[in-house]
Structure 1
Amino acid sequence: MTNAVLITGTSSGIGRATALRLARRPELTVYATARRPEALSDLADAGARVLPLDVTDETSMVEAVEAVEAAHGSVGVLVNNAGYGAYGTVEETGLEGVRHQFETNVFGLARMTQLVLPGMRRAGGGRIVNVGSMGGRLVFPAGGYYHASKYAVEALSDALRVEAAPFGVKVSLIEPGLIRTAFGDTAAHTLAGSATPTGPYAALNTAAEQQMAQSYRSKALSAPPERVALAIEKAITAARPKARYVVTPAAKALIHTRRLLGARVFDAYVRMQFRAAA
């Protein structure tokens, strides 16, 4: 396994925090990527190498992987971080936006994985860290399509972990809870854009927007992106990395609550939280 770490989506949030954290480790060569590499000048100043990479563009993905392999022989660690949350009800959300979200959150992740695995197999090892979400283990209303993309990341990670193990490739899934990045603002913006102000889901959408705003402002329920970066570092450096790293106490509590309560009771709990829709 080489020391080359390729991270997708480092222009902000979790990706940026991860690149900064890993760049401080002298044994690692960190490749920070984004659609606009000029936005990564501070990461270059911190010691990361910068590459253009759009996970919805085949040529861009191939060229990024080839650049790392030309310098190191293979990608040692792939951190599939690029992703975003687009919110709206199942009925009202346009499927064109849903397809784009899946291109970024699921198919981009899958294609990057396909591109690095041959090199990892030749090198006799590697690590793949997929950034999922607690939203891949439970669902809130007005977020069905986003949650579906993260459920897909769960499934891909579980399959890949077994498939890649014989080749020395270890796979970990990071499941953050609410993280104080631009994610919440993006989700609220897409929710407002997808909703019909006087439509049948108007009350639900209003309640969902209020819940997001309150939750992301709460320091008890949310955490800074550096907390996720620490979990990613552990997944990369541990001799025996965990299959899953759940980030934030609130996320751990919600995941266990959903598992223990079952669908009927958890649905009742969610309806209480979104009572404005009743």
Structure 2
Amino acid sequence: MRRVVALSVLLPSLAWAQSTKPQFVPPNGLPLDTPLGTARNADGSGVVTFATMQAGIAGAVTQSQLAGALTAYLTSEAAAATYATSTYVDAAVQTETSRAKEAEQANASDIAGIKSDYITSSMLDSTLGGYVTGAALNSALSTYLTQAQATSTYLTQSQATSTYLPLAGGSLSGALNTQQITISRGDIVLTGGGSVLLFSGGRTGAYFSTNSFGDLVINTAVGGGGGIRMIPTTFASLPSSPPAGTEHYCSDCYIGSGAKGVNVLYNGTAWTGVSGAAISH
């Protein structure tokens, strides 16, 4: 009963401790190890005593300390006045979402309108598939001359037609002036009584033609000039076995006791005079 009375006297003094930790003084001069309550330790001492109560009061937080620790925090009223609630945030998000969807729909309509004026990349690829690229065209034309190169290098068609023979067929009127004519595996065909005329020094020399029998006719006196002359050669320079009928003028050959310098003919076996007479050299 005494302990209950002492506790009832102590409690009002504990309630008074607000801003400073109270100096606990047990009532009626009771010692600090006086047990409070019925709980006991193994040695029989009280679990709760004035001493343990004093220790708890000493470690307690005062009201001013609590207020200082909470100064960095907002009260629920201050937080509500300063920050948005989850409901408000949800509503704002919903509003902005709706606005974004409306803008997206408007943009989609504008984009669709713009796309209608343009072609897709696949359509462009399909259209360009029938054309030649610049690289392919340059490669194909690499073996050809440009118009400027051809003009500066070769004759035009009108120049070639008026100056040179055509490549195939056609006819040539007027004189053909050239330094050399080379015919490879072909014939020179003269029709209509034409002739092959040889000129030298402005004078008409020998010319060749054919008669009605198809014989080759060598004319040697056209215009008062022209003749047939074979370049002289020595017997040692005559070919050893030319085709039969080959004729030369041998400068050191002679027949019998005649003078040197006779026409010789190869009869298929030996060189003789054109009459078949034996020759010496």
* TM more than 0.5: no
State TM-score, norm by structure 2: 0.18
Of structures 1 and 2, the one with the larger relative CO (CA 8 A, separation 6+) is 1
**Which structure has greater helix proportion?**
1
Q: Which has the higher Rg, Structure 1 or Structure 2?
A: 2
